[in-house]
C-alpha cells in the first residue's frame, strides 16, 4: 500500500551521514562523530543508589506524575540556576525528556509554517531538524567568534520580523565558542526592543575548561519576559535518564506543559526522583570538576595532533568548553566525500555541512574529543592526519 504522509515529512531530512555512521559502531573504527560523553566517568554507584532510594521511597513515585515535572526536582533546579545568577521560580520550570524535547515543545506551540527563526550558522543540527519539521524558515545571522554581529542581527530582525532567535552562546555546538558579554547584552537589548523571543540552548554550560567564570547566561540578564533557557543532565550525569528542563515566561511554559500532556503525559518520574536523590546525596559539582579536567586533557591531546598538521591544511579555534573541535580544511576538500575514505582508514567524524542553515561550508568537520580515551584519540587522529595528507597529495598530484 502507498501511505499518504503529512507535508512535514518532506521537511524531515534523512541523513546519508547517519547511515555511514551507523556502520561505525561495528569494527574498530575510532569515532569522533557522536556527541557522546565519556562512559567511564559515569557515576554508576551513585546512580544505582539514587534509583534504589527512589523506587523504594513509596509507591506514589511509580504512579502517573505531573506533566510539569516532579515538584521537588523543579525546586532543586530553581536553586541550582540561582547559584549561577539565574533566578526563576519552580513554577516557571518544565521538566522535559531531555532538552531536545524542550526545543520540540517550544516549536510546537510557537511556530506556524513559514515563521522566521534567526540562528547562528553553523548551529546545532538537531535544532534545525526540529525547526524544519514545523516548516519554518530558518535565516542565519552573520557571526564571528564573539557571537552574532549586531548590524546584521538588527537588520534581519527589523526586516524579517522573526518569531524567535535560537542561540547556543556557551561552548556552542559545533564550534565550542563563547559569546562575549557585550554580544549577549546586545542580543537581549534587540530582542526587548523588537519583542522577539530568544531561545538560549545551554547543554554544555557546565563543561568549561578555563578557570575563569564564563559570561552569565542571557536569561539571567532578562526579567523572564524574553528568554527561554534550556539545559540538561545528559552531559553531567548520564544521557540515558533523558532529563532536561526549560524555564521561561509562565505563559509559554504553561502552554508547553499542555502540549507535553498530549505528547507523552510526563517525563519518566523514576528518573526524576532518582535525580532528586542524586542532587541531595552526591557531589555533582565535584563530579563536574572531574569531567571538566578529563575533557580538557583530551581536548589538549587532540589539539596537539591538529597542531602538527600544517596550517594551510587545516585551521580551528581552541574550544573553551564543550565537547567539540570545529575544523576548517582547504576549500578543495569536501568532508562528506572524504568520510568514506576516513571510515575505511578506521576513523570517523561528522562532516560540517548539515550544521549549516545555508551556504554549507563543505570543507568543515566536527570532531568530538570526549568519548574516546587519550590513547584512542591519538591513534584516531593519526589515521585522520593520514587521510588528510593523502587528500593533499591527491590534489597536488
| Subset of 149-208 contacting its own copies (CB under 8 A) | 163, 195, 197
Q: Which C-beta is closer to its own copies: that of 250 or that of 344?
A: 250
Q: Which C-beta is closer to its own copies: that of 89 or that of 344?
A: 89
Residue selected from 221, 259, 299, 343 as contacting its own copies according to rule CB under 8 A: 259
Q: Is residue 138 close enough to count as binding its own copies by CB under 8 A?
A: no
Q: Residues 213-242 vs its own copies: string with x where CB under 8 A?
A: ------------xx-------x---xxxxx
CB 368 within 8 A of CB 34: yes
Residue selected from 155, 193, 208, 268 as contacting its own copies according to rule CB under 8 A: 268
Report how far Cα 134 is from the mean position of its chain's Cα atoms.
Answer: 19
Residue selected from 139, 149, 270, 305 as contacting its own copies according to rule CB under 8 A: 270
Residues 324-343 that bind its own copies (CB under 8 A): none
Please give the Cα distance from 240 to 281 (Å, whole number): 20
For 77, 246, 354, the CA distances from 223, given in Å and listed in that order, are: 18, 15, 35
Choices 36-44, 77-85, 296-304, 312-320 (CB under 8 A): range interacting with its own copies:
36-44
Vertex 98: Cα angle to 282 and 229 (nearest 5): 90
Q: Which three cell numbers stand for residue 209?
A: 575548561
Residue selected from 262, 311, 393, 396 as contacting its own copies according to rule CB under 8 A: 262
Q: Is residue 61 close enough to count as binding its own copies by CB under 8 A?
A: yes
Rounded least distance, CB 176 to its own copies, Å: 19
Q: Residues 96-135 vs its own copies: string with x where CB under 8 A?
A: xxx-xx--x---xxxxx--x----------x--xx--xx-
* Best CA proximity match to 367, nearest among 313, 310, 328: 328
Choices 38-46, 207-215, 312-320, 355-363 (CB under 8 A): range interacting with its own copies:
38-46
Rounded least distance, CB 10 to its own copies, Å: 11
SS3 for 70? coil
Q: Which C-beta is closer to its own copies: that of 96 or that of 172?
A: 96
Vertex 288: Cα angle to 203 and 205 (nearest 5): 25
Residue selected from 20, 30, 33, 37 as contacting its own copies according to rule CB under 8 A: 37
Backbone angles phi, psi at 348, to 5 degrees: -130, 155
Which sign does the torsion angle of CA 153, 156, 161, 166 carry? negative
Rounded least distance, CB 140 to its own copies, Å: 19
Which sign does the torsion angle of CA 55, 58, 63, 68 carry? negative
Backbone angles phi, psi at 144, to 5 degrees: -125, -165
Residues 290-329 that bind its own copies (CB under 8 A): none
Rounded least distance, CB 293 to its own copies, Å: 19
Please give the Cα distance from 248 to 164 (Å, whole number): 13
Rounded least distance, CB 158 to its own copies, Å: 17
Q: What is the DSSP letter of 225?
A: S
Rounded least distance, CB 227 to its own copies, Å: 11
Q: Which C-beta is closer to its own copies: that of 63 or that of 83?
A: 63
Which sign does the torsion angle of CA 366, 370, 373, 375 carry? positive
Cis omega before residue 174 (within 30°)? yes
Please report the DSSP string for 112-152 in residue order.
Answer: -TT-EEEE-SS--HHHHHHHHHTT-EEEE--EETTEE-HHH
Rounded least distance, CB 185 to its own copies, Å: 18
Backbone angles phi, psi at 4, to 5 degrees: -95, 110
Residue selected from 14, 212, 311, 331 as contacting its own copies according to rule CB under 8 A: 14
Q: Is residue 289 close enough to count as binding its own copies by CB under 8 A?
A: no
Q: Which C-beta is closer to its own copies: that of 255 or that of 305?
A: 255
Residue selected from 34, 297, 330, 360 as contacting its own copies according to rule CB under 8 A: 34
Counting residues that bind its own copies (by CB under 8 A) gives: 77
Amino acid at each position: 500500500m502507498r501511505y499518504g504522509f503529512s507535508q512535514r515529512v518532506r521537511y524531515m531530512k534523512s541523513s546519508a551521514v547517519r547511515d555511514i555512521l551507523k556502520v561505525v559502531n561495528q569494527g574498530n573504527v575510532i569515532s569522533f562523530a557522536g556527541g557522546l560523553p565519556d562512559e567511564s566517568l559515569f557515576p554508576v554507584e551513585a546512580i544505582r543508589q539514587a534509583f534504589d532510594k527512589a523506587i523504594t521511597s513509596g509507591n506514589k513515585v511509580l504512579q502517573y506524575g505531573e506533566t510539569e515535572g516532579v515538584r521537588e526536582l523543579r525546586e532543586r533546579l530553581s536553586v541550582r540556576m540561582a547559584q549561577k545568577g539565574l533566578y526563576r521560580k519552580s513554577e516557571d520550570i518544565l521538566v522535559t525528556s531531555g532538552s531536545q524535547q524542550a526545543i520540540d515543545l517550544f516549536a510546537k506551540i510557537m511556530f506556524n509554517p513559514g515563521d522566521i527563526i534567526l540562528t547562528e550558522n553553523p548551529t546545532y543540527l538537531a535544532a534545525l531538524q526540529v525547526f524544519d519539521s514545523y516548516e519554518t524558515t530558518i535565516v542565519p545571522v552573520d557571526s564571528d567568534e564573539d557571537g552574532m554581529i549586531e548590524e546584521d542581527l538588527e537588520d534581519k530582525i527589523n526586516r524579517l520580523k522573526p518569531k524567535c532567535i535560537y542561540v547556543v552562546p556557551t561552548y556552542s555546538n559545533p564550534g565550542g565558542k563563547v559569546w562575549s558579554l557585550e554580544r549577549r547584552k546586545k542580543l537581549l537589548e534587540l530582542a526587548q526592543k523588537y519583542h522577539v523571543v530568544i531561545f538560549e540552548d545551554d547543554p554544555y554550560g557546565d563543561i568549561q575548561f578555563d578557570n575563569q567564570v564564563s559570561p552569565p547566561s542571557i536569561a539571567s540578564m532578562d526579567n523572564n519576559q524574553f528568554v527561554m533557557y534550556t539545559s540538561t543532565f545528559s552531559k553531567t550525569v548520564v544521557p540515558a535518564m533523558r532529563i532536561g528542563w526549560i524555564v521561561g515566561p509562565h505563559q509559554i511554559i504553561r502552554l508547553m506543559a499542555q502540549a507535553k500532556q498530549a505528547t507523552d503525559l510526563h517525563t519518566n518520574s523514576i528518573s526524576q526522583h532518582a535525580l532528586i536523590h542524586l542532587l541531595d546525596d552526591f557531589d555533582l559539582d565535584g563530579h563536574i570538576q572531574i569531567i571538566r579536567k578529563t575533557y580538557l586533557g583530551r581536548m589538549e591531546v587532540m589539539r596537539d595532533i591538529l597542531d602538527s598538521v600544517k596550517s594551510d591544511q587545516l585551521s580551528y579555534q581552541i574550544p573553551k568548553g564543550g565537547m567539540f573541535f570545529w575544523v576548517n580544511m582547504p576549500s578543495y576538500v569536501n568532508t562528506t566525500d572524504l568520510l568514506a575514505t576516513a571510515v575505511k582508514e578506521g576513523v570517523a567524524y561528522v562532516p560540517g555541512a548539515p550544521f549549516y542553515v545555508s551556504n554549507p561550508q563543505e570543507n568543515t568537520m566536527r570532531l568530538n574529543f570526549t568519548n574516546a580515551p587519550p590513547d584512542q584519540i591519538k591513534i584516531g587522529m593519526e589515521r585522520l592526519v593520514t587521510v588528510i595528507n593523502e587528500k593533499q597529495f591527491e590534489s597536488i598530484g
